[in-house]
Structure 1
Amino acid sequence: MAMGERGMQLHDDAPRLAMPDRSQAVAAMQIDRAGWAGRAFARYDRAAVMRIARAVAEAAHQAAAHYAEWAVRETGMGVVEHKTLKNQLSAHPLVDFYEDLDLVSPKVDPDRKMVEIPKPAGVILALTPATNPISTLYYKALLAILSRNAVIFSPHPLARACCADAAARLEAAAVAAGAPSGLIQCIANPSVPLVQALMASDKVQVILATGGGPMVRAAYSSGNPAIGVGPGNAPVYIDDSADPGTAAAWIVDSKSFDNSVLCTNESVLLVHAARRQAFERALRAAGAHLCSDAEVAQLRAYLFPDGHLNTAAVGKSAVWIAQQAGFRVVPSIRVLVAPITLAGIDEPLSKEKLCPVLAMLTVDDFARGTGVAQMILRMSGAGHSAAFHGKDAQRALDFASALSVYRVVVNAPCSQGAAGFATHLAPSFMIGTGYFGRSSVGENIGPQHLVHWTRLAWNKDASVPFADFSAVRLSYESPDAGSRPAPAPAAPAGVDRDMLRQLILQELRGLTGGQK
């Protein structure tokens, strides 16, 4: 044995230094960078925050069609035209909706003798799905900016290229508008072990989890605060007071929108026996294909071959799905309607489908329809969404009261309605499912969920005076901001340079064990 070989053998027996995984090392540096950016951004005043938000929204709007095409090409899901619209709705309209929501300035309430100071979370880890990759990224990036947080995206592997490019574009727009570098970042090579490590990092303050059930549950069990959303499976009740033509048009438009990848889309139609024929005619006129018994069996076998959804069908067109299932429909068909005779665990077509396939069940009366709707939600979709079509206000109220959901869309397309684009609900790509759905939030998630408030509360005894805040500076803007020239983008208005320098020195001392 040569000396070199003997030496190698001896070294093989010696303890080895574990080398860190490169992707995890890069991600750790990204989190550190986001931490610096978040701490700096927390010092910005509201004018600077809104200026950056507007700049990012404009960059998002300008690239909406570009990323819609890219997302469809990369994931194979959805419709370019519809994804373009979703991307656009997640830009300027989102900022417009929160224009009057001030999450930056302290609030003084003399009547309650209280001062409230907003505190951003810090670093947000945002998981994005393959079904709505860019619109979700746009939405979460703007939520982070409006609440003065830094955000790191972990995209679904099927959409990592378009998400990485979009995040870089939004980051560039933010920095050009005066944001600190590192405010918007994206993990280049996401994997399950890497995401799990990031979710457990003590440098992540909150997780925004949009994705499959296992990933959302992992976020909640990570040890870090998390806001997750559950699956949808919206039952839709067609009351006998509804206009069949109008209801059918809304439903087909909604179910075919972006090939039904939104979790807010309609899942099971509940129709009165007396109105079934009229409603079926209306569905056909709106562009739906009513499946025969044989075609329903073929659909069931294709979509749920082992009782679980065939993910190959997610986001595909109705024509494509029919062909894969073994039957043909005319090219103009937008939705496949599958009549079923029962709902529940024994009928997989009553589960969430994420493709333009609707189950339809006949019910004898309102009470039966409400009961079946609740049965569907107990199986899947609790806390999420439902829909009601009709003119009877009492029945609409009774329907909503009986169901374990937190949003019921009335006389509107459910896909866009529950997401806040066809109703006055908050525009959102995170639909909180609340306690019914084992989530911490039951409303549409907004920037207000990423800020907590420190409250200074004075003695309520009338003999104890409240402080005079008339001469107290209530924003983070420097007192002489109005008299000095506008700063360069790298150091925007609202940043206390001396304070930032002290923070940097403090962090460096911590890293070097207190050495100066």
Structure 2
Amino acid sequence: MQLNENAPRLAVPDQAEAIARMKIDRAGWAVRAFARFDRAAVMRIVRAVAETAYQNAEHYAKWAVQETGMGVVAHKKLKNELSSHPLVDFYENMDLINPRVDEARKMVEIPKPAGVILALTPATNPVSTLYYKSILALLSRNAIIFSPHPMARECCNDAAARLEAAAVAAGAPSGLIQCIEKPSVPLVQALMSSPKVQVILATGGGPMVRAAYSSGNPAIGVGPGNAPVYVDPSANQNLAAQRIVDSKSFDNSVLCTNESVLITLEQNRQHFERALRAAGAHICSDVETERLRTYLFPDGHLNTAAVGKSAEWIAQQAGFRIVGSTRVLIAPIETVGHDECLTHEKLCPVLAFAAAGTFERAVGMAQMILRASGNGHSASFHGEDPQRAMDFAAALTVYRVVVNAPCSQGAAGFATHLAPSFMIGTGYFGRSSVGENIGPQHLVHWTRLAWNSDQSVRFPDLSDVRLVFDGDAPRQPAAPRLVSPAPVAGMEERGGVDREVLRQLILQELRELTRGQQ
């Protein structure tokens, strides 16, 4: 029997994509069950996952540095720890599960999880971002699937599996935290357009973030950072320099919130340079600055080999020597903006350094830096003149200005009272949908019951009205007077999943699949 070579052949599905789509289906089942958990059950699961994350912070810090070649183990350990219990503590009093009652406005608001989240994670902060997004998803009763950067694939897959196991052991339905084993650009693009994905959390390079926004699915993306930092003559120069060097050298500057370009006034320049040297920075000569420029931007684009490397390693690659204890390289420049590549984001412990004749000129330079890249992200101010701090912030197209604090940690909410975050929203200035640090509140819908505003229309007594949860009864104060029932007979002891409801959901899914094949 001869085969007809012109006959149509059955398309063989890509194995990686088929497995990924199965993960999405599994997450869909999980999130439908998890949406019926009450707050006590949710917080029990969240705390268990946070504890597992905390206990393994150092393990994954070492793994991430080894796998990616970026950063500092001690600093990654700290970031991982901050993305566990402290993150949960910050949102402890934010109830995204029980309804809110506003008697004055005659309104009831019912929270509903977004659903299945597809999350992209960068190579620079792989496990801390995975920890952070997992906690946010659980706090808002969502399921999350990670597509890690290929350079951090192994540590992210292991971390996701460990957090998932902790969640299930605490009573969560299986499938809330998953990870793509073999990520690739075509696979991620295919998954981003899946109708079974409700929202995309995009952290990574500009092209991938833009792809998320153009996928057809709702997306929350963040733009690049490039924070200008102004040091006023009124600042304590030694303290400002110490904070800046500590911040810029933290994890070898892989956080997008790190300082990028230093600006001070000419009258203050020599004083500030002495303070920088005392803090552990190396002020480059004109020749060294040119060598840095050539090495870091050989074709006008950042040499990614330098990302997350130490100051000593970068100086060696650029062709000059520095003292081994040097933590940051300071590159003096004459101009700022598009034509000076050193004023672009660098993600390594190299700071451009410019001086202005007046404060007004310094502010203008900071805005020029943001126009080159970093619009909507962050800036930093050091000084004791509150009017100048206000004028500086008012003039810049950013959503956060860190004052007298390290910008790396401050803009990310770890040295200020901003929300702790590894997703820094850049808002309309940065072509993003959100202009604040992303939190679990961005992953919840609110259905609003709005009564007639006419005073003659009565707003009812809601004391006996309740949402039906399958988990433990929440231990909440009487207000807002909507309470949850006790667990219903027939629910599973740990997860609170009604087997009959689950059976009906399976049958419904099968009917939908059958209709799609007819």
Question: What corresponds to 2:20 in structure 1?
Answer: 27
SS of equivalent to 1:13: coil
Question: What corresponds to 2:249 in structure 1?
Answer: 256
TM normalised by structure 2 equals 0.95
The answer as to 2:186 corresponding to 1:186 is: no
The answer as to 2:144 corresponding to 1:139 is: no
Runs of 5+ consecutive residues of structure 2 not aligned to the other structure:
472-483
**Which residues of 2 match residues 221-260 of structure 1 at below 5 A?**
221-260=214-253
Q: Deviations over 1:57-99 (max 9, x none)?
A: 0010011000000000000000000000000000000000000
Q: Deviations over 1:105-145 (max 9, x none)?
A: 01111111111000111000000000000000000000000
Question: What corresponds to 1:414 in structure 2?
Answer: 407
Question: What corresponds to 1:364 in structure 2?
Answer: 357
TM normalised by structure 1 equals 0.96
Question: What corresponds to 1:503 in structure 2?
Answer: 505
Mapped contact 2:96–2:140 kept (Cα < 8 A):
yes
Q: Deviations over 1:199-229 (max 9, x none)?
A: 0000000000000000000000000000000
**Which residues of 2 match residues 242-391 of structure 1 at below 5 A?**
242-391=235-384
Change (3 A) 1:137 1:13: same
1 CA distance for matches of 2:516 and 2:289?
70
One of 69, 78, 102 as aligned partner of 1:76: 69
Question: What corresponds to 1:454 in structure 2?
Answer: 447
One of 181, 188, 201 as aligned partner of 1:195: 188
SS of equivalent to 2:242: helix
The code of the aligned residue for 2:21 comes to: A
Runs of 5+ consecutive residues of structure 1 not aligned to the other structure:
none
Mapped contact 2:470–2:488 kept (Cα < 8 A):
no
CA offset at residue 14 of structure 1? 1.8
SS of equivalent to 2:361: helix
1 CA distance for matches of 2:32 and 2:126?
27
Change (3 A) 1:258 1:403: same
The code of the aligned residue for 1:457 comes to: A
How many residues matched?
505
- The percentage of counterpart residues that share the same residue type is 76
Mapped contact 1:127–1:153 kept (Cα < 8 A):
yes
The code of the aligned residue for 1:511 comes to: L
Mapped contact 2:490–2:498 kept (Cα < 8 A):
no
The answer as to 2:486 corresponding to 1:481 is: yes
1 CA distance for matches of 2:36 and 2:288?
61
Q: Deviations over 1:247-267 (max 9, x none)?
A: 000000000000000000000
SS of equivalent to 2:275: helix
Q: Which one is further off, 189-198 or 500-509?
A: 500-509
Question: What corresponds to 2:420 in structure 1?
Answer: 427
Change (3 A) 1:219 1:485: closer
2 CA distance for matches of 1:483 and 1:257?
50
The code of the aligned residue for 1:509 comes to: R
Question: What corresponds to 2:481 in structure 1?
Answer: none
SS of equivalent to 1:125: strand
The answer as to 2:209 corresponding to 1:209 is: no
2 CA distance for matches of 1:236 and 1:154?
33
Question: What corresponds to 1:115 in structure 2?
Answer: 108
Q: Deviations over 1:356-375 (max 9, x none)?
A: 00000011111000000001
SS of equivalent to 1:442: coil
Mapped contact 1:150–1:184 kept (Cα < 8 A):
yes
The code of the aligned residue for 1:298 comes to: R
The code of the aligned residue for 1:459 comes to: N
CA offset at residue 498 of structure 1? 3.9
Question: What corresponds to 2:474 in structure 1?
Answer: none
The CA RMSD over aligned residues, in Å, is: 1.5
Change (3 A) 1:482 1:186: closer
Q: Deviations over 1:306-365 (max 9, x none)?
A: 000000000000000000000011110000000000001111001000000000001111
2 CA distance for matches of 1:462 and 1:222?
46
2 CA distance for matches of 1:156 and 1:19?
26
Question: What corresponds to 2:480 in structure 1?
Answer: none
CA offset at residue 474 of structure 1? 3.5
One of 75, 86, 89 as aligned partner of 2:79: 86
2 CA distance for matches of 1:17 and 1:330?
64
Question: What corresponds to 1:174 in structure 2?
Answer: 167
The code of the aligned residue for 1:264 comes to: T
Mapped contact 2:331–2:353 kept (Cα < 8 A):
yes
Mapped contact 1:427–1:444 kept (Cα < 8 A):
yes
Question: What corresponds to 1:102 in structure 2?
Answer: 95
Mapped contact 2:36–2:469 kept (Cα < 8 A):
yes
CA offset at residue 472 of structure 1? 1.1
CA offset at residue 482 of structure 1? 6.1
1 CA distance for matches of 2:222 and 2:446?
24
The code of the aligned residue for 2:274 comes to: R
